[in-house]
Structure 1
Amino acid sequence: MTTRHPLEIAFSSGRAGSGPATWGQQAIWDAVRRLPPADAPRYNITTAAPLDPGLPLPVLLAALERLLHRHDSLHTRLLPPDDDGGPLRQVVDPEGTLGIDVRTAGERDAPAELGARLHEELAAQPFDTAAQWPIRVGLVVADDLVRHISLVLSHTAVDGSGMSRLVADLTALCLDSSPQASAELRRPSQQPLEEAGFQTSERGARRDAAARRQVLRKLRQGPPRLFPPASDPSAPFPNAVLRSPALARAVERVAAAHRVSTGSVLLAATAAMTARLAGTTEAVLNVVVNNRFLPELADAVSVVAGDGLFHLPDATGEFGEVVRRTHAAAIGTYRHAYFDRLALATEIERLTAEGVPLADRSCVFNDTRDLLPAAPDPGNDRTTLSWPVEFEPRPGLTYALDALQSPEAISLAMTANPAVLPRPAMERFLYGIEELVLTEADTGAGKPGTEAGVAPPR
């Protein structure tokens, strides 16, 4: 029989302070507060894994306490604007307690199954970021060792790259006798209050202004509408997941042949299918960017990811050529995705009021493959399409497409407005991405690329 016994880690002597929220904290906080309560947990950043051969509970608890000391984002709260309309603020608490949900497996309990249920339970809960620290930990103990761990964080604390860094640090702290682990922990990382200080500095203001100029330039160039207009959505948004082992292999071949990143290949195929289904020759995508171009943010455990506006004027040409142009355009998009989104929203509102036509921003692409641990995989070699869930309607969204990694496949998870892209159109979209990449791998991957360059991050 499973028993549950919550524990608390007492944390003290940590760094303290308060200041304005970072651009990333503000953007995610705004996005989550606009969601229906049942949808908010979708923004949680989560990972779970079995621990084999297991760890003593005291070792893991000590590592978690050291993790709290290392990363301020784990003991930071976000205070909403006051009645006077002040800014969102971050408060770094120097002390407090972190609750740990510990489940002890009985003789008939499989730790992996118990851990999966615990992870699902923790991930399904939203965060009160004003009152709670943005981290939950679940542990499964069997035979006096921790056999499974679940980490659930608010997206206001980390993005996918931040979670990867967090997992690496926790692993090193649990195995801190390793020289490699010690070297890993010596890497510098900027804390959120330090990042906010940069953003409010003269240098930060220049970078912000330059990035927003680039985005506004693309907004004036792109088509004001891709798909036919639809009224405000009322029906649930279907979620389709295409799992393709063949795509995982083909995307590597195409990337190597054209000397680009695999992320550029998937982005090119998404742009091409967007243009085809919209009946246009160009595509505009809001790309979620894991922006770590600033050296001081390279290893930051925080939320840095922003939105980049990707515009491809001729997305329906020969696919190999589309891939190469996508790669070149993506680098500029990623480099100019670090900016104050509130300031950009103000500029967009002004231009809209003046009647300036601006590009469609309702199609979203997010490549998470290198940012989060691989998801469990059923292990078969066939392409499958499933419809696992429906979501609350999201006004202003045509579709959101996530690229996910599993050990043997790439999965494309698409959520769309059914009034614009009904289920048959979603199927054509997902299978079309697979077909474009597989065909290029079979017929075009032997041709050398005409452009080389530094591959942008996925």
Structure 2
Amino acid sequence: MDASSERLDRTTELKVRAARGGRGPATWGQRAIHTALVKLGPDAPRYNLRLSAPVEPGLPLETALRAFTELLHLHDALRTRLVERDGELVQEVDADGALPVAVLHRSSAERAAGAAAELLAEFAGRPFDLPSEWPVRLGLVLVDGLVRQTVLVLSHTASDGWGMRRAVRDLTLLAAGRSADELRAERDFTQPLEEAAEQDSPRGRRRDAAARRYWRDKLSSGPRTQLPRPDGEPDPERRFPFAVLRSPELASALPRAAARLRTSDATVLLAAAATELGRLGGQREVLFQVVVGNRFTAQSAEAVTTLAQEGLFHLPELAGEFDETVRRCQGPALSAYRHSGYHKPQLDADLDELRAAEQDLADHSVIWNDTRDPLAALMPDGVGEVPLVERELSFPDTFPARPGVSVAVDVVAAPGAIELLMVADGALLERAQMAQFLCGVEQLVLEAAE
């Protein structure tokens, strides 16, 4: 294929006909993400979920298009628009419609990878028009007539990271010849309209009320500050440094520590983070916003939708020994997870009422997001020999100020390692203190594994 063939890029369509459709109230997860996107404004695209992956050994274009069409039939969230009607957010699931697909032709695998990276940046860098377009962008890059790269971007209103991995798994099955009807017959999973109906039921309303009451109680009684704050108003132009610790030792030690302490590895990490934050702030009480996947049933575990919301993890007192701190974390962690599903706009209104009453709310600006998913090891990028990686601590970037955030940490499963990604308010923590926090979390787990 000569270089002139690279000008044959075009757009085709995936056509959906007679799928399931309907209209209903938005789910709690959709409302929470929609609220966040509205607040972010021009920065909303950074919430987009993105994937660019090679296709080996390559697929005929017709096969790839059929698989993606079946995927749209399988998961209603991918055909769901969010519309505000009479002040309420409504989800509209289209039974019919079409999704544009960018089809690019390149002359080599190297050029295909470059084109996929460029297309991913373009797709992910634009906000979705949630009322009028489906929350999916798709691109396929071909070499010698076969699809060799796939580019997929989803709005966070359609899925969280867990759900996107389910979509990729299902796409792999569909590309191998399965159908949406076959997969639907084999497993039971929740669709967004069904999730919303459950949340609007008497049981769902009781769950919402209990969760919002829990938030009000914790924010009324928790610590007012967790890190020393300088006098005066913070500079709105200050930067938030970004630190990354990549640790193969942490990945190896974490399951051993969890087994020895007879708890989950997520609780061990959470306890380590609480301990290190307490050291930085010089106090014994800790309050985190923890991002919870809210996939507590088999039906929700298989769903492609957005269910993640924040819970409040409140540890009244760190222990002198780390093992005891881990044990103390188990109850508060369970409470945080149990009260992590709620009507977000109503919770915001509840907290505004407390502020209007001049109640000083607890500092809930520390965010902990353990993104690891057991399914990830079974996905295409998790198959094969685990690469040898070296431990590395780096500060690759800085970001603009993030309102309402002092510290945000993501836990990411990487090939052969665990990565701790930390963003912190530069007015509160210096880079050396961020390094102290990340290395301290790692060291606590390593010691607990012995």
Q: Same fold (TM over 0.5)?
A: yes
Report deviation, 1:283.
0.9
Deviations 1:162-211 (A, max 9, x none): 11221122112112359xx9467621222212222222221211111122
Match of 1:149 in 2: 150
SS in 2 for 1:66: helix
Map of 2:60 onto structure 1: 56
Note the alpha carbon deviations across 1:125-153, whole angstroms, 9 max, x for none: 22221222111112221122212212210
Match of 1:26, SS state, is helix
Q: Distance in 1 between matches of 2:193 and 2:182?
A: 25
- Structure 2 counterpart of 1:391: 399
Match of 2:439 in 1: 431
Does residue 34 in structure 1 map to residue 39 in structure 2? yes
Establish whether residue 276 from structure 1 lines up as the match of residue 279 from structure 2. yes
Going from structure 1 to structure 2, the CA distance change for 1:223 and 1:27 (only over 3 Å counts) comes to same
- CA shift, 1:113, in A, is 4.2
| 1:336-394 per-position Cα deviation (integer Å, ceiling 9, x unaligned) | 21111222222222222223343211000101121785889995543212223332211
* Cα separation, partners in 2 of 1:123 and 1:371, compared to 1, 3 Å: farther
Q: Is the 8 A contact 2:370 2:410 kept in 1?
A: yes
Partners of 1:95 and 1:407 in 2: CA distance: 40
Relative distance call for 1:295 and 1:221 in structure 2 (3 A) is farther
Q: Map of 1:105-254 to 2, 5 A cutoff? A: 105-107=106-108, 109-176=110-177, 182=182, 186-229=186-229, 231-232=233-234, 233-254=236-257
Superposed CA deviations along residues 193-242 of structure 1, whole A, max 9, x for unmatched, are: 22222222212111111222223332233112212345343223221111
Listed one character per residue, the Cα deviations across residues 310-351 of structure 1 (whole Å, up to 9, x for unaligned) are: 011223531122223223321221122111122222222222
Do residues 257 (structure 1) and 257 (structure 2) align?
no
Mean Cα deviation higher: 225-234 or 139-148: 225-234
CA distance in 1, matches of 2:147, 2:410: 32
Paired residue for 1:343, among 341, 346, 365?
346
Match of 2:82 in 1: 78
Secondary structure of the equivalent of 1:94? Answer: coil
Q: Give the corresponding residue for 1:418.
A: 426
What is the alpha-carbon root mean square deviation over aligned residues?
Answer: 2.5
Aligned-pair distance for 1:402?
A: 0.5
Query: 1:94 maps to which residue?
Result: 95
- Structure 1 gap ranges (5+): 443-458
8 A Cα contact 1:284 1:310, kept in partner: yes
Aligned counterparts of 2:184 and 2:254: Cα–Cα separation in 1: 31
Return the TM-score normalized by structure 2: 0.90
Deviation at 1:296, TM superposition (A): 3.8
Give 1:47 deviation, angstroms: 2.4
Q: Does 1:324 align with 2:327?
A: yes
- 8 Å Cα contact 1:163/1:372 also seen in 2: no
More divergent stretch after superposition (336-345 vs 399-408) = 336-345
Offset of 1:246 from its aligned partner? 1.1
Tell me, yes or no, if the aligned pair for 1:47 and 1:373 is still in contact at 8 Å.
Answer: no
Q: 1:122 is aligned with what amino acid? A: F
SS of residue in 1 equivalent to 2:226: coil
Residues 350/337 of structure 1: CA separation in 2 closer, same or farther (3 Å cut)? same
SS at structure 1 position matched to 2:40: coil
Shift in alpha-carbon separation, 1:141–1:267, aligned structure 2, 3 A: same
Query: Residue 164 of structure 2 aligns to which amino acid in structure 1?
Result: M
Contact 2:109 2:148 in 1 (8 A): no
Amino acid at match of 1:259: R
Contact 1:207 1:339 in 2 (8 A): yes
Task: Establish whether residue 6 from structure 1 lines up as the match of residue 29 from structure 2.
Answer: no
Deviations along 1:13-67, one digit per CA (max 9) or x if unpaired, are 1222222211111111111121151x32221122232221122111111111111
Code of the aligned partner of 1:398: S
Count of paired positions? 437
State the alpha-carbon separation in 2 of the partners of residues 290 and 411 from structure 1: 19
Aligned-residue offset at 1:303: 0.7
**Matched residue of 2:289: which SS?**
strand
CA 1:378/1:129 → structure 2, altered by over 3 Å: closer, same or farther? farther
Deviation string 1:278-320 (CA, Å, 9 cap, x unpaired) is 1110110000000112454232211111111001122353112
Identify the residue that residue 410 of structure 2 maps to in structure 1: 402
In 1, the alpha carbon distance for the partners of 2:375 and 2:247 equals 18
Separation in 1 of the partners of 2:389 and 2:72?
41
Structure 1 CA distance, aligned partners of 2:257 and 2:332? 18
More helix by percentage: 2
TM-score (norm 1): 0.89
Within 2, Cα distance between the matches of 1:249 and 1:314?
29
Separation in 1, partners of 2:394, 2:219? 35
SS at match of 2:449: helix
Question: What is the aligned partner in structure 2 of residue 299 from structure 1?
Answer: 302
